[in-house]
A and B are shown apart, each in its own frame.
Chain A
């Protein structure tokens, strides 16, 4: 019994080692490369430089201000984009007439990268907060609308037929059969939209902003502060990872019965 327990314990430890091995190795290599001057300091900042930059940003309160600004833009833009996307997706998925009226416009607008719209958005809305939120909204809207549409269109026709056999009204069929069935697909849209919201917010900040992670990276490039750039990049990676982990947890919990 004891041996078995120890084995479980050991395999758990080895599982953890496998997870952190590569990141740890990368950090170690980075450390070795800068300690031995394999790469020039102006290209690859040393861990010490990065730490100094972090302390500098933290003391001035810039670090959290940037994080907060970016987070706010993501949240507001995401909520707007997701709401519009889901509502549009439901309307298009359920009403064939709406589908036909919007089909061509969607086909034309969809391939346009959101980045290409940034100059126009700035022209219309200025360089204030509104334009950045609009860009995030645009970036999240598509993923949600398209996933909602496909979720609704992929509803098992046998379940629709069942609802018909049970004499359910159209409204009840939508509410109790079609929408619950489409939900996992909508959630996939939410996860895609979340990473796209992060990307769009950083992009917008790089072009026109006075704060935010994207702005900080661009600013650091102009100021020749590779340490600050480095912090911004790692921050984005960790940030995106945490968001997706939380969403994955939520997804597993929401759809635990399926």
Chain B
């Protein structure tokens, strides 16, 4: 792994809801290397999506800071793109234009079309350039949104439960695709998920967050090559290791019950 691409330093976040303070993130620190795939897992409501949104510059941290390529994150950056749980496509645009929307306005039409064609091909949608979102399945729509995020060639790609709304089979297929794209495009990726299987399948490191307010409970390095075999003993070993974290009250204590 190369240099540190992203550095999260003591990040805390407090939301004020109905005049009541709600702390969702508590002193999170994490360094992500260039080209690394890091997953953030945790129970729902632990603030993992909020953490990702702070990294994306869509939300500001109450305390602490995020540095991306040595610069403090103060807002969305053209070098960092986020893929959301919903594909967020424009129904009035065809696939090509939806993907092209990810590019800057200064890019020429020809260039836009050429790049769109390349990324549409990359996500396996060749031949669907002129289709509209409503003609596509959920999985295909998410592929379009992936292509839209990749087209500007960002260094960092943030994935916020991108396959959470897909059926189990499509999900497995898409995980494989992300793995392939990552190898091909050499991106730094951070994935937020509650799917441990997905995290083990894709990640170099897995960050387990505690319940709200989320803090780093454990960081697990997954020392397996790609592509990974979900049926493999070592795969199961990592899955159990992560899963156990969810059912342990205190750091280092024995699990409350055996899974």
Contact = CB atoms under 8 A, between A and B. Distances in A.
B109 to A, nearest CB: 15
Given A168-B105, A257-B92, 12 more contacts: A158-B84, A158-B86, A158-B88, A164-B76, A165-B58, A167-B77, A169-B105, A172-B105, A176-B90, A177-B90, A257-B91, A257-B134
Interface of B: 56, 58, 76-78, 81-82, 84, 86, 88, 90-92, 94, 101-102, 104-105, 132-134, 152
A126 interface: no
A180 B56 contact: no
Contacts of B78: 167
B101 A176 contact: yes
A10 interface: no
A162 B84 contact: yes
B169 to A, nearest CB: 26
Nearest to A254: B92
Interface residues of A, number: 17
A167 B56 CA distance: 11
Interface string A91-133: 0000000000000000000000000000000000000000000
A161 interface: yes
Interface of A: 158-159, 161-162, 164-169, 172, 176-177, 180, 183, 257-258
Contacts of A167: 76-78, 104
Contact of B92 (A158, A172, A258): A258
A165 B82 contact: yes
A133 B78 CA distance: 51
B196 to A, nearest CB: 27
Nearest to A162: B88
Nearest to B83: A165
B92 A180 contact: yes
A258 B133 CA distance: 8
Contacts of B56: 165
Nearest to A255: B92
Contact of B88 (A159, A168, A172, A258): A159
27 contacts: A158-B84, A158-B88, A159-B90, A161-B58, A162-B84, A162-B88, A164-B58, A164-B76, A165-B56, A165-B81, A165-B82, A166-B76, A166-B101, A166-B102, A167-B77, A167-B78, A167-B104, A169-B105, A172-B105, A177-B90, A183-B92, A257-B91, A257-B94, A257-B133, A258-B91, A258-B92, A258-B134
Nearest to A163: B101
A162 B90 CA distance: 11
Q: Report which residue of A162, A165, A258 has the largest number of chain B beta carbons within 10 angstroms of its beta carbon.
A: A165
A155 to B, nearest CB: 11
Nearest to A159: B88
A180 B152 CA distance: 23
- 8 interchain residue pairs of minimum CB distance: A257-B132, A258-B91, A162-B88, A180-B92, A165-B76, A165-B82, A167-B76, A158-B88
Contacts of B88: 158-159, 162
